[in-house]
Amino acid sequence: MISVQVENVVKYFGKTAALQGVSLDIEPGELFFLLGPSGCGKTTLLRSLAGFYIPDSGRVFFGGEEVTRLAPHKRNTGMMFQSYALWPHMTVRENVAFGLKQRKLKSAEIRERTFEALESVHMAEYADRKPNQLSGGQQQRVALARALVVRPRCLLLDEPLSNLDAKLRLEMRAEIRRVCKQFQLTTIYVTHDQKEALSIADRMAVLKDGAILQVGTPAEVYRRPRTRFVADFIGEANFFDGTVVRAGAGLVCVKTALGEVQGISADPESDYAEGAGVTVLIRPECIHLDTMPPDENSFSGRVGEAVYYGEMAQYSFHAAEGAALKLFELNPRHVHRPGTSGLHAWVDAEDVVVISR
């Protein structure tokens, strides 16, 4: 296991800044995600870690050793690409062994390590097949075995599941986490899929326009996003612009189109002055429908659209003040029909996040 440090890395392509002074500290054995929309810089950062791109400025360290300008083959990283990149004319065994042969290891060691890598991803019985005889999920496992067989000190994954169907993606998410933890690999994983990141990451960084907006655990980033962009990118959200009425005792009261709403600060160090412009975030699953609501953060109104999904009902709720809320009700025993009135939508203050504008 090694740590990975990125210090003020800047990378330009022509006049376009792909990375703008990015800094990160990744712990040994951590499964760390780089998350963001297309063009945010996440793949450029990963390729800078792999050695395929040399930063214009800044430094990269593996376990305290500077590798900023070290050639890719000297960094001892394993990389999985979106396209699998398996040799079609080689068997599964030959594909996995290829990197070891390039390192000129002895035949007996190549056989042993290749078998161990295939065993670790449950593909040993397919060793003599060609890639075109495998399913997409099986090809992905082979690509993972090929990355593992060289015993990398850091594993780099570039949107490895994007070509798989939904069921296989779920299966491979769990498999990748299992393998990374089994081998105690420091792993850096690029994706634009929020569910993928939330479900298996130890920590994540959200990027936009070549800069890191927030770093934290999945729960921290989801429940306490620091910016509206992060909140909107990670999951469903209701947003209401407003002005601060008062702040104290850990709560901020905001006047919005819903009325007065109390919530907690996205940034505990921020000082919300009276009259300051802010944005209120409420996740749809945090909102409750009731006829006898609590006194605070409660809004009367009626049900607009209603959609039943089995495990969940999704509503649009039109508050009497004129604002609309999207809300999810999990495991609904009764689905409210469109137009149902006499209801209140309410939310606990702990589930309301106040974000500076």
Query: Is 295's pLDDT higher than 90?
Result: no
Q: Look at residue 241 in the predicted model and tell me its pLDDT.
A: 95
Give the strand pairing for 298-308 and 343-346. Answer: antiparallel
For the cut 90, the answer to whether the pLDDT of residue 250 exceeds it is no
CA nearest 263: which of 251, 273, 275? 251
Whether the per-residue pLDDT at 122 is higher than 90: the answer is no
Percent of the residues in the chain that have a pLDDT greater than 90, as a whole number: 67
pLDDT tens for 261-279 read 999 998 877 778 899 999 9
Structural domains of the chain ordered from first start = 4-229 (3.40.50.300), 237-356 (2.40.50.140)
- The 3-state DSSP class for residue 233 equals helix
pLDDT value, residue 202: 97
pLDDT computed for residue 248 by the predictor = 84
At residue 208 the predicted structure's pLDDT band, cuts being 50, 70 and 90, is very high
Cβ burial of 55 (10 Å; 0-12, 13-18, 19+) is buried
Q: What is the pLDDT of residues 35-76, one digit of tens each?
A: 999 999 999 999 999 999 999 999 999 999 999 999 998 898
- Whole-number Å distance between alpha carbons of 295 and 230: 30
> Region 6-11: what's the mean pLDDT?
97
Residue 81: which pLDDT band, with cuts at 50, 70 and 90?
confident
The residue-averaged pLDDT of 239-248 equals 93
Tell me the CA end-to-end span of the chain in Å, nearest whole number: 40
Is the pLDDT score of 242 beyond 80?
A: yes
